[in-house]
Structure 1
């Protein structure tokens, strides 16, 4: 695997992308071109309902939108583990059969699954799922640690891109609170994390809901995902 510094250089041109989708495609292209991996499914994740939704699929020769994929990730132990631990995970053989969905299988000859969570701090925005690999790949603990760092790098990149490209109506505090809500934290937990009262947290949530013209907090989080403010 190339050094993380080398990979980072491929991400130094984020201002050149005219929209969010172009940036996501570029991220997957860097992933495929830098690693002995042949395919990549990019999915967004919301802890509200533990739901993952497909965004884009890319392999060495083609790509597709995969919005039809919608999973409750607790049904996939390896994906759930990767998200909870914020670490890249890999399985093969019998473990693969216990963890994979038919939606991700292109060729029955392949029986491997790699999950790379995309995160920053406590927030997991999504993950990259791969099932096809080049013959010379060796997936060991060092490789998985590097992939974890890659997922963290992508998390920072997406936050940076969103802050530059989105006209976010929420204040910094409101956005921080809503990201914690999206992470699945309760009002009490958010109050403890931010060292604020629960009443203040509820006021930030109500204000954010009003600014987003949402029906409730779940709807507000959904809108933030749809707008690309949260992947």
Structure 2
């Protein structure tokens, strides 16, 4: 808890994300951390940053349906940290992005608030003396929950409540999987106007994109 409080010193949202990994690496026997955001809309995992001994690397190019990554998917569904190594790792995880020939272990820490997972941390490098046992995994699970709770409480919920009726309607339709064309026809407006509503809603929510915006609204119970 003393370490989590350090997140309050962050001057910006970006610095807060960095501190999540910085605190994580100071608490546990890990040598790197990949931070992902997660949207339940389409089970989309999106890379944010990687922190290791050399510094920060932006990994925004990583976008994947986590259902194609069984080990990560199971950690998210069960909302608990998991660790996998050796042959079992090869069976459970795709090598599409973060796994290279010298990686033989993987830990996944879901970041959750209540029953909703909003992100996750992956680690592929561990200290030589690291022992990832049940006690450590339990602590990692707690860390993800504390971070999720802090992030939710520090969000400016007033922003989401200030969406106009049209903006909220558009975001709800996006969560239902409707296309721009379908929304425009149903609302009797142009596709350009729909795009403007989406853009303004994303800005008000402080989101990165429409999937992130929908995830925020789902998490807060504003849409369902």
Equivalent of 2:73 in 68, 73, 80: 80
Aligned to 1:214: 198
Deviation at 1:10, TM superposition (A): 2.2
Aligned to 1:193: none
Deviation at 1:229, TM superposition (A): 5.2
Equivalent of 1:103 in 89, 97, 103: 97
Question: For 2:5, what is the secondary structure of its paired residue?
Answer: coil
Deviation at 1:137, TM superposition (A): 0.8
Equivalent of 1:143 in 136, 142, 156: 136
Question: For 1:213, what is the secondary structure of its paired residue?
Answer: helix
Runs of 5+ unmatched residues, structure 2: 177-193, 220-224
Aligned to 2:159: 168
- How far apart in 1 are the matches of 2:215 and 2:11? 14
Runs of 5+ unmatched residues, structure 1: 1-7, 186-209
Deviation at 1:121, TM superposition (A): 0.6
Aligned to 1:225: 212
Question: For 1:168, what is the secondary structure of its paired residue?
Answer: helix
- How far apart in 1 are the matches of 2:136 and 2:26? 16
Corresponding position: 1:35 with 2:17: no
Q: Which stretches of structure 1, 4 residues or longer, exceed 6 Å deviation after superposition? A: none
Aligned to 2:151: 158
In the superposition, relative to structure 1, how do residues 228 and 142 fare at CA in structure 2: closer, same or farther (>3 Å)?
A: same
Aligned to 2:222: none
Corresponding position: 1:130 with 2:123: yes
- How far apart in 1 are the matches of 2:38 and 2:31? 23
Deviation at 1:105, TM superposition (A): 2.6
Equivalent of 1:59 in 52, 65, 69: 52
- How far apart in 1 are the matches of 2:214 and 2:40? 17
> What is the total number of aligned residue pairs between the two structures?
187
Superposed CA RMSD in Å reads: 3.4
In the superposition, relative to structure 1, how do residues 227 and 39 fare at CA in structure 2: closer, same or farther (>3 Å)?
A: farther
- How far apart in 1 are the matches of 2:25 and 2:3? 12
- How far apart in 2 are the matches of 1:119 and 1:62? 26
- How far apart in 1 are the matches of 2:74 and 2:8? 33
